[in-house]
């Protein structure tokens, strides 16, 4: 058996757009500038939708925020879509760190705390999803129990551009879902009769990619078992 021995398939956005137009029933020789303008908008709109649909593992990174004693609220990079896991980190000075998980609370939960300025060992955080988002810690860090706030976040997918043969900010396993989804969106604009069939194809491709875009780890359910008394 003879194979290429390479793993370089990563078409640029322009190539994917042409393929998507072909799927939508538009020949490459018929494509005009206005077609490409709609493709650029459809591409970035679809990536925004993907950010809303859930966790995209390839866009997860770890942020380390130095803690300031007595400061409860810290700015979060606006490219942050959601915060997954957060923990407080204490360096004992010898290079070893002790990490302690903290849990998310809602705006209503945070509003219910009677003393929002009390300092101590932080146990919870509130992520305020504004245009310029923030994260608020409670109890307010005392500067002794932790030196850093660390959290895993999901960032938005980078803008897609047709210039200079740029590729899309997605991994190999999502290429089909991207192309099929783009074909559906372009069909809605240029060949509406083909859109319903392409919608089903796009959904199937997305579901396959999303199903695999998870961490392959065991899942445990531990029910709470308590005593009961018969009267």
Report the b/e string of 154-177 with b at 16+ CB within 10 A.
Answer: bbbbeebbeeeeeebbbeeebbbb
Rounded to whole angstroms, the Cα distance separating 206 from 174 reads 8
**pLDDT of 73-100, one tens digit each?**
999 999 999 999 999 999 877 778 899 9
For 22-51, the pLDDT digits (tens) are 999 999 999 999 999 999 999 999 999 999
The rounded distance, in Å, linking the Cα atoms of 5 and 124 is: 49
Strand 60-66 and strand 140-141: the pairing is: unpaired
Q: Under 8 Å CB-to-CB from 191, ≥6 apart: which residues?
A: 24, 25, 26
Kindly indicate the confidence band of residue 228, based on its pLDDT and cuts at 50, 70 and 90: low
The span from the CA of 120 to the CA of 101, in Å, is: 15
Which tens digit of pLDDT belongs to each residue from 125-154? 999 999 999 999 999 999 899 999 999 999
Length of the chain: 231
| 146-160 confidence digits (pLDDT tens) | 999 999 999 999 999
Mean predicted lDDT score pLDDT of the chain: 93
* Residue boundaries of the structural domains of the chain: 13-18+27-55+159-173+187-211, 57-155
């Amino acid at each position: 058996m003879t194979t290429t021995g390479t793993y370089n398939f990563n078409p640029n956005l322009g190539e994917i757009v042409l393929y998507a137009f072909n799927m939508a029933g538009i020949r490459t020789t018929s494509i005009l500038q206005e077609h490409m303008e709609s493709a650029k908008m459809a591409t970035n709109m679809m990536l925004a939708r993907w950010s809303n649909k859930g966790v995209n593992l390839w866009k997860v990174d770890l942020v380390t925020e130095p803690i300031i004693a007595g400061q409860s609220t810290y700015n979060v990079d606006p490219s942050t879509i959601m915060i997954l896991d957060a923990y407080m980190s204490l360096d004992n000075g010898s290079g070893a760190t002790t990490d302690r998980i903290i849990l998310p609370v809602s705006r209503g939960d945070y509003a219910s705390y009677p003393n929002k300025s009390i300092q101590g060992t932080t146990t919870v955080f509130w992520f305020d999803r504004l245009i310029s988002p923030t994260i608020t810690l409670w109890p307010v860090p005392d500067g002794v129990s932790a030196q850093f706030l660390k959290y895993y976040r999901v960032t938005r997918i980078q803008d897609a551009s047709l210039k200079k043969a740029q590729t899309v900010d997605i991994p190999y396993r999502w290429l089909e879902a991207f192309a099929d989804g783009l074909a559906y969106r372009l069909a809605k604009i240029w060949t509406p009769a083909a859109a319903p069939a392409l919608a089903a194809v796009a959904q199937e491709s997305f579901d396959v990619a999303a199903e695999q875009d998870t961490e392959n780890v065991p899942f445990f359910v531990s029910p709470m078992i308590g005593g009961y008394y018969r009267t």
